[in-house]
Structure 1
Amino acid sequence: MFFLTNSNKMFFLFILFFSTFIAISSNSWFGCWIGMEINLLSFIPLISNSNNLLTSEGSLKYFLTQALASINFLFIILFKLILIQNFELNYLISIIINSTLLMKMGSAPFHFWFPNIIEGFSWFNNFILMTWQKITPMILLSYYFNKNFLFFAIILNISIGAIGGLNQTSLRKLMAFSSINNLGWMLFAIMISENLWIFYFFMYSFLTSIMCFLFYIMNTFFINQLFINNINFTIKMNLLINFLSMGGLPPFIGFIPKWIIINFLMINKLYLMTFIFILMSLIIIFFYIRIIYSCFMFNYLKMKWFKTFIKNNLMIYINFFSFISISGMIISTFLYL
C-alpha cells in the first residue's frame, strides 16, 4: 500500500494505465508502438528499487527484454509499410509480429525472462506484471494473428505453465507458471471472441489479485512459510478456495470461463486440443492441492509466541474476498443446474 502514499509512484501508475489505452485505441501500428513504449518507461520506475539487488536486476532484465521486443516490433511494422504490396511476405511478417507481442507478455516460447524477473518483485508489482501488462500485447495480437503459429504457442503455454510449476518452491515462481498456463487459455479465448477474452481476463485478474493480496498480507514468499507459520484457519480456507478456483476445478468460479472454452473446442471437434487443455489443468490442480494439503495437514509447532505477522488493518479485505469467492461458487453451481 506504499503506492497510495507516494505521489511519484501514483503518477507513474496513472501513466501506466493511460498508456495502455493509448496503445489499444490507436489506429496505426506506430501509435500502438508509442503506447507500448510509454507503458514500459512508466513501469520501470514502479519496479526499480535501489535497496534490493534482486529488484534492480529484475528491472534491468525486464527493460532489456521489452526493449528488444519493441525494436523488433518497430522494425517489422516499418518493413510491412515499405513492402505493403508484397503479399508473399505477409505470412512471415505476421509470425514475427506475433512473436514480438508474445515476448512482451511473457508467453512461451519466449517465457524464460518471466519467472526470473517475478522472483525479485514485490507482490503488487507482480500483480501488475501478471495482469495489466498483458492487456496491450493481447489486444494488438487479436488485430493481426497467425492462426497456426498461435495454436503452437497456446499448446506450449499450457504445457510449460503446468510442467514448469511442478518443482517450484517459490510462490512467486509458482504464480508466474500459473500465469503462463492461463495465458494459453486467454490466447485461445481471444481467438474465439474478444468478449470471451474480457470475461476470462476479468476472472483471472480477480483470482490473481486475491492470491497476491493474501500473500502480501501474510508476508509469504515460499511454500514452506505456509507450513511453519501459525496461520488462521479462515485464511487457510480462503487459500484453499482460491487455489482450487485458479486451477479451474468445478464448481468454483474459476471454472466458468474454462468451461466455455472447452465447450467451444468440443463443438469444433478439436478433441486433441481439449485433451491437452484438460490434462494440463489436472497437473496444475495437482500441485495446488499438494500445497494446500501440506498447509492443512502438517503437524507444525504451535507456540504462543510464534505468530504470523499479519497486517491487521487489512483483515477485513481477506474476509470480503473470501465471501466473494464462496458466493461466486454458489452462482456458478446454479449455472450448471
Structure 2
Amino acid sequence: MNRYIQIFLITNLVLGTFIVIFSTHWFSIWIGLELSTLAILPLLTSNQISRSNEATLKYFLVQAFSATLLLNGVLMNVWLTNNWNINLTNNPLPNFLILFSLITKLGLAPCHFWFPDVLSGLSFLNGLIISCWQKIAPLYLIITINSSFPNELILISGILSVLIGGWNGLNQTSIRKILAFSSISHLGWIISISFFNNNISLILFFLYIIITSLVFLLSYIMNTKSLSNLNNLTLSPNLIFLYIINILSLGGLPPLGGFINKIIPIYIFTNNFNYLFLLPFLIGSLLSLFFYLRIAFNTNLILFPQHSLSYLNWNTNFPSNFNYFISVLTSISLLSLILLPLFFSFI
C-alpha cells in the first residue's frame, strides 16, 4: 500500500475515535464510528496473509450490523426526546438497541463469536488495532452513558465475557485466538466495573491497552503464530523474558502491573458486598490464568540451554523500530503497581 494512502487511512482512523469522544451529538457519534470502521478496512487487507480478506469481510459485516442497530436505536431515541443530544430516554427499547450495538462492536458476550475468528485471520499489528484502538470509542460511550442503560444487562454481559473468555481459551493453540479470548475476558472485567465506578474503568482500560499492546508487538517480533512455534524460537533471551513477563502480567499475577486489573475490581465488589457476582469473575480469571501459564511455560523451556554443551544460535538482533516504544511500555507495565494507592483514591 502506498505510504501516503496509509497515513491518510490512519489519520481518519484516529479522527473517527476522537470525534466520538468529543461529541455530544448522536449523529456525529455515528459518523465517527463509521469513519473509523471504513478507514481500517483497507488497512486490514494491506498485509496479504492467509484469511485476511475473509477476516476483513467478517469484520465489515459485523460492524455494519451493529451500526444499523445503533442508528435505529438513536432514531427511536430522537423521536422520543425530540433532540439529538447524547441523552437516553426511559424507554427500554432504544436503550437496549444502543447497548446491544455497542456490545457487538466491543466483541463482548453474547456477541463475541466474530472476534476470535476475525483476529485469527489478521496480522498481529492489525489485531492490535482491533483489540485496543477500535474498542476505545464504544467502551467510552458505554462508560459515559451507562446510567441510562439497564445495569443488569451490563453486569450479565461482563460475567458471560469473563467466563466465556476463560473457558474457550483453554483448548486454543493459536496465539491470536488466545489473545482474542483474553481481550474478551479483560473487557468483561472493565465493563462490569463501570457499573460501580466510571473513573476506575477508564484506568483499567488504559492499563489493558498497555499490556495487550506489548504482547501483540512482542508476538509480532517473535512471529509466534501458535504454541508449537514457541519451541522453535531462536531470539534473544532478553526478548523471550520480556514476553514471559508480559504474558504473566496479562494473567494478573503480582507484583506485575496486570495485578491492578484484578485487585481493584475485587476490592470494589467486596466493598459493595457483591460476593455472589464476584464468584464467576474469580472462576473466569483462574481459567484464563491457565492458558497464560501454558504460554509462559512453553516459552520458558527455550529460555536457557539445558547444560553447557547445549548450543543455540541466539538471534540477538532486536528490531530498532520498537526499541524505545517497547521499553517505555514495559516500564509502565512493570512499575504501575507502585501507583496502586493512587488508584484507590478514585474509588
Normalising by structure 2, we get a TM-score of 0.86
Is contact 1:245–1:253 with CA below 8 Å preserved after alignment? yes
| Residue 320 (structure 2) aligns with | 313
Q: Offset at 1:88?
A: 9.8
Partner of 2:207: 203
How many pairs align? 331
Cα 1:309–1:175, aligned 2, differ >3 Å: closer, same or farther? farther
Matched, 1:58 2:55: yes
Q: Check if 1:294 corresponds to 2:288.
A: no
Shift of 1:271: 0.2
Say whether the 8 Å CA contact 2:77–2:89 is kept in structure 1. Answer: no
Query: Quick one: which amino acid aligns to residue 198 of structure 1?
Result: L
SS in 1 for 2:256: coil
Structure 1 match to 2:288 = 284
Do 1:44 and 1:59's aligned partners in 2 also have CA atoms closer than 8 Å? yes
Identity among equivalent pairs (%): 35
Between 1:150-159 and 1:324-333, the stretch displaced more is 324-333
Q: 2:243 maps to which residue?
A: 239
Equivalent residue in structure 2 for 1:274, among 267, 273, 278: 278
In structure 1, the residue matched to 2:111 is 110
> 2:11 maps to which residue?
14
Change (3 A) 1:59 1:127: same
Q: Is the 8 A contact 2:235 2:316 kept in 1?
A: no
Question: What is the CA–CA distance in structure 1 between the aligned matches of 2:140 and 2:150, rounded to whole Å?
Answer: 14
Q: Is the 8 A contact 1:16 1:39 kept in 2?
A: yes
Displacement of 1:199 in angstroms is 0.9
Distance 1:322 1:92, change over 3 A: closer
Cα offsets for 1:119-149 (capped at 9, x unmatched): 1111111111111111111122231421011
Q: Pick from 247, 256, 259: which aligns with 1:255? A: 259
Instruction: Give how far 1:90 is off.
Output: 1.1
**Counterpart residue identity of residue 40, structure 1:** T
**Residue in structure 2 matched with residue 97 of structure 1 by the alignment:** 98
SS at match of 1:230: coil
Per-residue deviation, 1:18: 1.1
Listed as ranges, the gaps of 5+ residues in structure 1 are none
State the SS of the aligned residue for 2:172. coil
Deviates more, 1:182-191 or 1:169-178: 182-191
- CA distance in 1: counterparts of 2:207 and 2:136, whole angstroms: 14
Task: Kindly report the root-mean-square deviation, in angstroms, between the aligned alpha carbons of the 2 structures.
Answer: 2.8
1:270 to partner: Cα distance? 0.5
Alpha carbons 2:168, 2:181 under 8 Å: kept:
yes
**AA aligned opposite 2:78:** L
Pick closer, same or farther for the CA change 1:312–1:51 going to 2, 3 Å: closer
Is contact 1:61-1:113 (8 Å) kept? yes
Deviations 1:307-327 (A, max 9, x none): 669654357445565555444
Compute the displacement of 1:279 (Å).
Answer: 1.9
**Bigger shift: residues 171-180 or 46-55:** 46-55
**Which one of the candidate residues 43, 47, 72 is aligned to 2:40?**
43
Compute the displacement of 1:334 (Å).
11
Q: Is the 8 A contact 1:22 1:32 kept in 2?
A: yes
- By how many angstroms is 1:100 displaced? 0.7
Q: In 2, Cα distance between the equivalents of 1:182 and 1:160? A: 11
Structure 2 residue corresponding to 1:181, chosen from 175, 178, 185: 185
Moved more, 112-121 or 45-54: 45-54
Return 5+ residue gaps in structure 2 as ranges: 83-87
SS of 1:204's equivalent in the other structure is helix
Please report how far the alpha carbon of residue 83 of structure 1 lies from its aligned counterpart in structure 2 after TM superposition: 3.6
Pairing of 1:97-246 with structure 2 (within 5 A) = 97-142=98-143, 143=145, 144-246=148-250
The change in CA–CA distance for 1:250 and 1:333 in structure 2 (over 3 A counts) is farther
Report the Cα distance in structure 1 between the residues aligned to 2:284 and 2:72, rounded to whole angstroms: 36
Q: 1:308 to 1:172 in 2, by over 3 A?
A: farther
Q: Bigger shift: 250-259 or 289-298?
A: 289-298
**Normalising to structure 1: TM-score of the pair?**
0.88
Task: Encode CA deviations 1:268-318: one digit per residue, 9 max, x unaligned.
Answer: 1100121221221111112111221232236899665x6669654357445
